């Protein structure tokens, strides 16, 4: 990247603070229990860990929202939580990040989706994840909650610059609700980005989708092993899903953009040799991408900004976020 290209990227990053993004998604409370190993148990061949601290961080669609807020934009977050302590802890964390939570509704029929990770290791070494326990109910949300989310989206979308749909398969998005959400964004003339783990075909007609290699393989119907296979599948999938753009993320192999006219653009991974933790990296990519598009960046420029953001976040532990200042430093470092 030369200095001119760097200046172009920085120009758009500086516009982030003037943007407002709606995020509609499956909300997850990511709980981290941090402990030190003490000894082996006499009861079973397992470690006994001494509890040190625990924290709840935004996960799922809430993590994408947290990434966008960290980059300086205003975020209006829509979703569903339970009536429980996990919801309270998650809302407190979102409030501290100045994320608008008026579009988050309670569902007393299910718990807040919660993923608990136990990290172990002494103070002198990097703590590693030992086990993860998920508490998730994945049935469709009620008609009443669907209507509340739809009404909120329709009412507020005009005041926003773009919308991000973050689908973790927990029940917000289904065959009845998803087309309506996508149509609302299209009718308002807003950019819409989709990060869907299980049901991307339901989001036909969105502006851009960002499946990873595993998700793309599942949609295509066969495992994509080579770059040639990825490119063949991507061209077909973009047309089949009626997307303006399709971005397949490929971990250490970078990401590949598919654009109108069967155009293909492959972007190598940023700083993959320094990967520490990939938790939540997909949320960082799609959150940064939709924000850059909202800031007026051409799609290829937006993807390069998102790629650099991912290169920063994978060097951090756990569910992490990136700031605009960090991103600008990364751009300038790559220009040098």
Where residue 105 falls among pLDDT bands split at 50, 70, 90?
Answer: very high
| 140 assigned to active site | no
Contact call for residues 111 and 137 (beta carbons, < 8 A): yes
Residue 291 has pLDDT above 60, yes or no: yes
Distance CA(168)–CA(138), nearest Å, equals 9
pLDDT in tens, 5-43: 888 999 999 999 999 999 999 999 999 999 999 999 999
Domain residues for 199?
3-335
Q: Structurally, how many domains does the chain consist of? A: 1
pLDDT at 171: 93
> What is the token pair recorded at 18?
């003037």
The pLDDT of 195-199, averaged and rounded, is: 89
Contacts of 59 (CB under 8 A, 6+ apart): 27, 28, 29, 30, 113, 115, 280, 319
What's the pTM value of the predicted model, to 2 decimals? 0.92
Q: Which CATH number fits the domain that encloses residue 153?
A: 3.40.1190.20
3-state secondary structure at position 243: coil
Query: How far is the C-alpha of 11 from the C-alpha of 142, rounded, in Å?
Result: 43
């Amino acid at each position: 990247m030369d200095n001119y290209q760097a200046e172009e990227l920085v120009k758009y990053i500086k516009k982030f603070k003037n943007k407002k993004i709606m995020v509609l998604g499956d909300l997850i409370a990511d709980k981290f229990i941090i402990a030190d190993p003490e000894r082996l148990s006499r009861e079973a061949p397992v470690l006994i860990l001494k509890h040190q601290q625990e924290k709840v961080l935004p996960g799922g669609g809430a993590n994408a929202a947290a990434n966008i807020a960290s980059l300086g934009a205003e975020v209006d977050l829509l979703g569903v939580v339970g009536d429980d302590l996990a919801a309270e802890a998650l809302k407190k964390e979102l409030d501290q990040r100045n994320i608008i939570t008026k579009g988050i509704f309670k569902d007393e029929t299910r718990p807040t989706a919660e993923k608990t990770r136990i990290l172990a290791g002494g103070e002198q070494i990097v703590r590693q994840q030992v086990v993860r326990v998920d508490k998730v109910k994945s049935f469709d949300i009620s008609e009443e909650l669907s209507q509340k989310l739809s009404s909120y989206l329709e009412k507020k979308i005009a005041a926003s610059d773009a919308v991000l749909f973050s689908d973790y398969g927990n029940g917000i998005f289904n065959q009845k609700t998803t087309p309506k959400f996508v149509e609302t964004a299209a009718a308002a003339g807003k950019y819409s980005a989709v990060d869907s783990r299980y049901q991307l075909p339901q989001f036909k007609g969105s502006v851009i989708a960002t499946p990873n290699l595993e998700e793309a393989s599942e949609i295509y119907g066969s495992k994509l092993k080579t770059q040639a296979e990825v490119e063949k599948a991507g061209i077909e999938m973009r047309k089949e899903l009626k997307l303006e753009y399709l971005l397949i993320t490929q971990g250490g192999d970078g990401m590949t953009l598919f654009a109108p006219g069967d155009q293909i653009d492959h972007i190598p991974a940023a700083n993959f040799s320094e990967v520490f933790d990939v938790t939540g990296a997909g949320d960082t990519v799609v959150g940064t991408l939709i924000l850059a598009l909202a800031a007026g960046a051409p799609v290829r420029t937006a993807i390069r900004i998102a790629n650099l953001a991912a290169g920063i976040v994978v060097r951090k532990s756990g569910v992490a976020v990136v700031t605009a200042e960090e991103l600008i430093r990364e751009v300038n470092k790559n220009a040098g």
